[in-house]
Structure 1
Amino acid sequence: MEFYSHPGKPLDLHLREVAMEMQECLQDIPGPGRDVLPLLAAVTGFTHDFGKYTTFFQRYLLEKVRDGDKHHHAFISGLWGSYLVATLLKKEETILEATLAFAPLLCFMAITRHHANLDNLERHLVRPGDLEDPELTEVQPSLRYKLQLVEEQVADLFARREDIFPSLLNAQEPFNFFSPDLLETFCSSWRGIYAQLYRLHRRFKQADGFTRRKAYFLLLALYSALIDADKREAGGVGAVPRCCLPPGAVDSFKEKKFAASSSDDINSLREEIYQKVTNTITRVSLDQHLFTLTAPTGAGKTLTSLSAALRLRERLHREKGYSARIIYALPFTNIIDQTFTVFGDVLRASLKDFAAKESNYLLKHHYLADTIYKLEGENAGEEFSLEESLLLIESWQSEIIVTTFVQLLHSLIGFQNRMLKKSNKLLGSIVIMDEVQNIPVEYWELVREVLKGLAEYFGAYIILMTATKPLLFKYGEAIELVGDEELVRQFFNRLNRVQVQVDLRPKRVVEVAAEFARQYDPSRSYLLIVNTINSSLELYQCIKQFLREQGHEPLMFYLSTNVVPLERKKRVEEINQALSSKQKPVVVSTQVVEAGVDLDFDIVWRDLSPIDSIIQAAGRCNRHSHKRGGLVRVLHLVDEEGHTLANRVYGAIHCHVVRKIFEQYSEFTEKDFFDLVEEFFRIVEEKKSKDEAAKIIAAMEDLYFSDLNNEGRITVSDFKLIEELPSYVDVFVELDERAREIWRFYQETVLKEKDLLKRRRNFLGFKRDFYERILSVPAKLALGLDSVTRPLYLSRDILEKYYEPETGFRRQLDDDPIIL
């Protein structure tokens, strides 16, 4: 008799292929338990859809006949999986380490939740005594209902066991870990098997923190590998073949690209740092997994880190026998495109087939990225369908992935099915985190422990890269790739590109604008960075007015998230072109310009902020050391009541610490950056509360992913790298005819489409174009817009009422404190 998992897909074939994909995915993962992990993966894959053997599911799938919820299959499949894991582990001759003793529990949770998000394990378990009552009267109602379904499903499976045996035997053919007596025992003893999970969980809660934390990572590995393989296999999309990457690709690129570069101070420093880092990575012990790369802004860290990762990858392949994926993470989506382009140029210079197999080698993943995956093989150069591309992109099927901190960290500290699908690609990987100082201080301890866990349990290598070296790793945990602390300080001391002047006297925006107008020199380019959208709008308008009154009409630009993303991107390109052509623009911006944007001004003014942000701002001043000394002025902006505007964005602690430090340093140069930022982070870490981070770590150790029972405790789901803004709404801004076409297409193919799969497929085709025209604004400013749709719709007919071409969404200047 034939059983099916999906329309036209034999169930035994689906189980076998998912098991084989999972086993292959976790086969070469380094670290403790690597001999047993592939077995656990194969069993999880083999058992994950066991419940589909019931008559209830087969009739539901093939005949569209529904008998209540009896076709549900995840819970009974989880029980079957836990039983098979427990049985097989008893046969293992080696003594299992502590964490693997809890593998039946982890397998149960991975399978039970493989069509949903991870939640709280305890809510799926029942005290053994309560199971002795045939009516299950003491069991919580929703769980009692599930167990009653299992009772009927088990009876059905037992009655049809002779038909099921051949299919299961065929499904496990490569593994040989199933025999008919196992199914009979399961059907006759399933309540006892289920009760054993409760007992095992009691033991788990009493285990030490190390064991429970490793269990968290093991669960992520199994769950991620399962949902990844299951979704792709069901969609007919196999794993992409692995590719070789040349370890000397960056060297080759540099020889071609920079052969004619001058040997001035900054280029000499870049080359020295490059050589130091590459030499260190080729000699360091592979038992060392944690690294930092600290160098001044503009010192070529991007290419240097890529070269280090490629060399490390080659060593791992040669000495340990596996190819590590390279994950390069950045804090903001607006700087990913630039890094992705650089990496593409590097690989294109060394790989003849890069154009045809681009996605095999290099992938970009964030919410605005195009949903395009280029095909490898006989039809190289073609593209997968949108659904196929999405499956491959979201599961990071590539050798180098350029992504965001959100995608990376929510794949490690997460509960959502869609975010955890790619977590398995982090096992044994090389992770580079650029501009790591952008991680909130209150999460440092959490991120530190997660990265250390990824390295310790699953052999990942971590490189934290920054110009400001936050104290993310503790002393002695990581090796600095540039050299010892004194050498790093010497590299900073060699640069003298900027002088920083600090003026802590409180000033209102109009006073700063007037001061700027008095000091304005048409022969210099200027960048002014403030902390809130409202202060940036007021500053822009005041400066424009004051300069016009003095007879100046400079080229002026405004940048913030008050302007639609598409227009922001265009303006950055226009500013870059103006600076390259020796024009002298005046740019007023929020922090969107600080990280990763390669702009170079003569003079920078910066509102009070943490020292690392000031150093990032200084990195836009005389960046390439081609000008006479650059000047950075730090000011203290206040509102009409005299309250510090920076407090609204960075909090009182950060601002208090930086003001205390600046009381001692009213003027300093680039050689002081290293010591100043070290002092700043040391004091801030001492003052910042670590309570929330500690509670999330505890939730990870308890496998407490989300609080569906509203118990009020902190869970893994409480980790949010970017906090959602309260009382904000998204608005689609119809700036031009192209925007009108996109909105019309959105209405016709998404909003009016009743088929959810078609709706999703249609949206993927123009997702990037759509989001590039979205703004997030306070709800009170969007009153009067079409509120029937989500997002809200700002049509060109009323555009002038709500949106100003120069500065974006119209706002009341006295209310909104939002940054960026």
Structure 2
Amino acid sequence: MKERRDISGKIILKYKESAFKNASQTFINHLRDLAFEEVGSYPISLGERFYCLNLPTGLGKTLTGLHFALKLRENIAQSGYTPRIIYALPFLSIIDQNYEIYQQVLSTEYKIDSHYLLKHHHLTDIVFYENDREFDFDAAKILLEGWNAEIIVTTFIQLFHTLIGYKNRMLRKFHKLAGAIIILDEVQAIHHKYWLVVKGILTSLATQLNTYILLCTATQPLIFPKSALRDTCEKEKYFRQLDRITIYPHLTKKQTLEAFINEFSPVKKTLFIVNTINAAKTLFRLLQGRYPQEKIAYLTTHIIPKERLKRIKEIKQGKYKLCVSTQLVEAGVDIDFPVVYRDLAPLDALIQSAGRCNRNAEEKGTMYVLNLINEKGKRYAYQVYDLWLIDKTEKILVRYSSISEPDILELINSYYEEVNQEKPDETAKALLKSLQTLHFNGEKETYPVSNFRLIEEDYPKWEVFIEYDEEAKMLWKEFTQIRKIKDRFERKMAYEQIKSRFSQYIISVPQTIENRPPVVENLLYVPYEQLEDFYDKETGYKLEGGVMVF
């Protein structure tokens, strides 16, 4: 039975009144309210398909974007149909955080079930509720993967692999994109080489399937020409009024981590964002050696997800004076430090990192951009980013001794103009041609649709299950029992029941690692008894040393 739910466009006003009634009347909160009201009063014309919400970091784009989408939904509903809202994000690390915000908003007015709000990605629990009734596994799977809700919170991978895909499981929800309102949050995360493809596919979606698109970001990439987008607010006003941080590019001097630490003094709470896990581990150990009295947070993807989430929560609670992280905190993770040190990266990534500095305008924040090198004199930045993006960033930054927040909008616009002058990637053009000619499978050289990967692996990886605690022991025992189930469909259904919890103990490591645990049930497995051989509870997986097992 088809179920639709009414959602009032005024529900966010009710939520804000309740959730922020005791909020202090600071200047930053004043700007958040101003942006919220301006976007909410934007004069919508249903003939316009592409909208942009470009605001500085920390100005409440999540709520403001939903406010606009609900208003647009109400306007469209007057023409005879009610669109669904599809809210897509690039990173799993911020899905839960923003899903909870949506959940809190809807709960202000409604007893929400799965027809109101769904969260869907590859690790989502297979559950679907209608009022107080829980559907059985098979029905829940069909309803969940078919996006049978008014609002769907999902990932870029789910969205774009449905738009640019050929697998039945992904295409099951394709029809839900017709007439929908799609919010693309943190849209700057889409790699430049796919701009041409994304522009083409979203334009077709809007013109042929009557879909509306809202792009949300603090650093608006030139996926579309500026004339094609409708700004929902006067963005210059907000960038101009904020002066929370000063960025100091220190690029003329290349430094090793050891040399940097010799000059560093931790006067205030400080966040360090570096480009590789090895750099993060080295920096963390150097800081521990220099400041043994300080409690230091450490965040990389070699820490199991369960522990990462715990540490991020503790950072928000102010339990650490120093934090060392890779890029995983640079977009969307709501942590705040008065001082940030960031290794050189493309300019949009630097600006996103600056968004972790003095978000709430409590005191003037400072971010230093460093030019870090490893022991062989090689830049860490060149190990993870396209060289030409780093070079363009450096050419812009060397003109400045310091950069104030009001200058950021002009700076990022100049950068994207430079990036956009580069010729489109040949694979992007080939992919567009494959979509137009329905070339789904074939030789890799012809770049069929089946070749498309929104996120490509930078190196071959293995997945490792870390038996970290008692819950992990229990889950591994369940997993081994599930593997014994002979019926393939029963086995898959049983695994789906534990997949979300099981994944909290899985990390990915390079296939070139020296320190390799045994393969058990087709998965690298670190038993609790051997935890110290393979996993450090502070810095995560031990790539070297320990016991070599084949």
Q: What TM-score, normalized to structure 1?
A: 0.65
In structure 2, relative to structure 1, the CA distance for the partners of 1:474 and 1:511 (3 Å cut) is same
Equivalent in the alignment of 2:395 = 660
**1:300-346 CA deviation, whole Å, 9 max, x = no partner?**
1110110111111011111x200100000011011011111111111
The aligned residue for residue 281 of structure 2 is 537
Q: 1:467 to 1:711 in 2, by over 3 A?
A: closer
Structure 2 match to 1:790: 522
Counterpart Cα distance in 1 of 2:480 and 2:145: 26
Q: Deviations over 1:127-181 (max 9, x none)?
A: xxxxxxxxxxxxxxxxxxxxxxxxxxxxxxxxxxxxxxxxxxxxxxxxxxxxxxx
User: Match for residue 417 of structure 1?
Assistant: 168
Quote the offset at 1:812 in angstroms: 4.6
Deviations 1:87-132 (A, max 9, x none): xxxxxxxxxxxxxxxxxxxxxxxxxxxxxxxxxxxxxxxxxxxxxx
Following the alignment from structure 1 to structure 2, what is the Cα–Cα distance between the partners of residues 725 and 771?
A: 21
1:608 is the counterpart of 2:344: yes
Residue equivalent to 2:238: 491
> Paired residue for 2:144?
393
Of 19, 22, 26, which residue of structure 2 is paired with 1:257? 19
Q: Which amino acid aligns with 2:175?
A: N
Measure how far apart 1:262 and its partner are: 2.5
* Residue 475 of structure 1: how far off its partner (Å): 2.6
**Could you list the runs of 4 or more consecutive aligned residues of structure 1 that deviate by over 3 angstroms after TM superposition?**
none
Q: Deviations over 1:599-632 (max 9, x none)?
A: 1111111000111111111111110112x20110
Q: Is residue 329 from structure 1 mapped to residue 88 from structure 2 by the alignment? A: yes
> Are positions 1:761 and 2:493 aligned together?
yes
Secondary structure of 2:184 counterpart: strand
Q: Which residue does the alignment assign to 1:133?
A: none
Higher relative contact order (CA 8 A, sep 6+): 2
Return the match for 1:801 from 501, 512, 533: 533
Residues 677-688 of structure 1 aligned to structure 2 (within 5 Å):
677-687=412-422
| Contact residue 517 and residue 534 of structure 2 kept, 8 A | no
Query: Aligned-pair distance for 1:512?
Result: 1.8
Which residue is 1:471 aligned to? Answer: 222
Report the equivalent of 2:271. 527
For residue 805 of structure 1, what is the amino acid of its counterpart?
A: K
Please state whether the residue corresponding to 2:445 is helix, strand or coil.
coil
Query: Which of 115, 118, 122 is equivalent to 1:363?
Result: 118
Deviation at 1:783, TM superposition (A): 5.0
CA contact (8 A) 2:188 2:219 kept: yes
Work out the percentage of aligned pairs sharing the same amino acid.
38
Measure, in 2, the Cα distance between the counterparts of 1:610 and 1:724. Answer: 19
Task: Work out whether 1:295 is the aligned partner of 2:20.
Answer: no
Name the CA distance, whole Å, in 1 between partners of 2:406 and 2:476: 52
CA contact (8 A) 2:338 2:358 kept: yes
For 1:771 and 1:637, the matched residues in 2 are separated by 33
Q: Is the 8 A contact 1:653 1:687 kept in 2?
A: no
Maintained 8 Å contact 2:515/2:543? no
Shift of 1:452: 0.9
**After the TM superposition, which residues 422-437 of structure 1 pair with which residues of structure 2 at under 5 Å, given as runs?**
422-437=173-188
Which residue in the other structure is 1:56 paired with?
none
1:687 partner letter: E
CA distance in 2, matches of 1:513, 1:717: 47
Aligned counterpart, 2:447? 714
Deviation digits for residues 324-370 of structure 1 (CA, Å, limit 9, x no counterpart): 0000001101101111111111111012x32xxx2110000012222
Distance 1:696 1:740 in 2: 44
Structure-1 residue corresponding to 2:210: 459
The 5-angstrom pairing of residues 127-142 of structure 1 reads none
For residues 604 and 461 of structure 1, the distance between their equivalents in structure 2, rounded to whole angstroms, comes to 37
Displacement after TM superposition at 1:699 (Å) = 0.4
Q: Distance in 2 between matches of 1:259 and 1:567?
A: 33
Structure 2 equivalent of residue 217 of structure 1: none
Whole-Å Cα distance in 2 between the matches of residues 769 and 704 of structure 1? 38
Output one character per residue of 1:447-490: Cα deviation in whole Å (capped at 9) or x when no partner. Answer: 0111111000011000000001111111311101113xxxx222
Match of 1:738 in 2: 471
Residues 514 and 544, structure 2, Cα contact 8 Å, conserved in 1: no
Alignment partners' CA distance in 1, 2:420 and 2:514: 39
What corresponds to 1:502 in structure 2?
249
**Structure 1 residues 498 and 265 mapped into 2: Cα distance closer, same or farther (>3 Å)?**
same
Residue number among 339, 345, 352 corresponding to 2:104 in the alignment: 345
Q: Secondary structure of the residue that 2:176 maps to in structure 1? A: helix
Q: 279, 289, 294: which one pairs with 2:41? A: 279
Q: Is the 8 A contact 1:514 1:543 kept in 2?
A: no
Deviations 1:535-581 (A, max 9, x none): 00001001111123xxxx1121100101011110111111111x2xx
Distance change (3 Å), C-alpha of 1:784 and 1:597:
closer
Contact 2:84 / 2:151 at 8 angstroms: preserved in 1? yes
- Distance in 2, matches of 1:543 and 1:513, equals 7
Describe the SS at the equivalent of 1:342: helix
Correspondence 1:372-411 to 2 at 5 A: 372-375=127-130, 380-411=131-162
Q: Is the 8 A contact 2:515 2:542 kept in 1?
A: no
Instruction: Count the aligned residue pairs.
Output: 544
Change (3 A) 1:761 1:277: same
Partners of 2:226 and 2:330 in 1: CA distance: 28
The equivalent residue for 2:481 is 748
Is the Cα–Cα contact under 8 Å of residues 492 and 671 in structure 1 kept in the other structure? yes
1:555 is aligned to 295
Where 1:251 maps in the other structure, the secondary structure is helix
Bigger proportion of residues as strand: 2
Q: Match for residue 548 of structure 2?
A: none
The SS at the match of 1:780 is coil
- The TM-score normalised by the length of structure 2 is 0.97
Match among 327, 330, 334 for residue 598 of structure 1: 334
1:766 aligns to what SS in structure 2? helix
Asked if the contact 1:492–1:670 (Cα under 8 Å) also holds between the matched residues in 2, the reply is yes
Map of 1:110 onto structure 2: none
Contact 1:386–1:764, Cα closer than 8 Å, also in 2: no
RMSD (Å) for aligned C-alpha atoms: 1.4
| Residue 639 (1) aligns with residue 374 (2) | yes
1:410-436 residue CA offsets vs partner (Å, 9 max, x unmatched): 110111111111111111000000110
Deviation at 1:398, TM superposition (A): 0.3
Q: 1:140-151 residue pairs with structure 2 within 5 A?
A: none
How far apart, CA to CA, are the structure 1 residues paired with 2:118 and 2:4?
13
**Alignment deviations for residues 764-787 of structure 1 (CA, whole Å, 9 cap, x no partner):** 110101111111101232654222
Q: Deviations over 1:665-722 (max 9, x none)?
A: 2211111110111111111222354211111110011000121xx3731111222111
Query: Distance in 1 between the 2:228 and 2:373 partners?
Result: 41
- CA-CA distance at 1:585 after TM superposition: 1.6
Give the distance between the partners of 1:632 and 1:784, measured in 2 at CA: 38
Gaps of 5+ in 2: 546-550
- For 1:262, what is the secondary structure of its paired residue? coil
Does the 8 Å contact 1:653/1:688 carry over to 2? no
Which structure 1 segments of 5+ residues have no match?
Answer: 1-237, 814-820
Kept in 2, the 8 Å contact 1:534–1:811? The answer is no
Would you say the 8 A contact 2:480–2:521 is kept in 1?
A: no
Give the residue type in structure 2 aligned to 1:307. Answer: H
Counterpart CA distance in 2 for 1:403 and 1:513 is 40
Letter of the aligned partner of 1:491 in structure 2?
A: Y
Once the two structures are superposed, residues 488-525 of structure 1 have per-residue CA deviations (whole angstroms, 9 ceiling, x without a partner) of 22210101111111101111122222222xx221xx21
Q: Is the 8 A contact 1:734 1:740 kept in 2?
A: yes
Q: CA deviation at 1:788?
A: 4.3
Output the CA distance in 1 between the equivalents of 2:225 and 2:347: 20
- Matched residues in 2 for 1:670 and 1:726: separation? 36
- Paired residue type of 2:353: A
User: Is 1:514 the counterpart of 2:262 in the alignment?
Assistant: yes
Q: Tell me the residue number matched to 1:204.
A: none
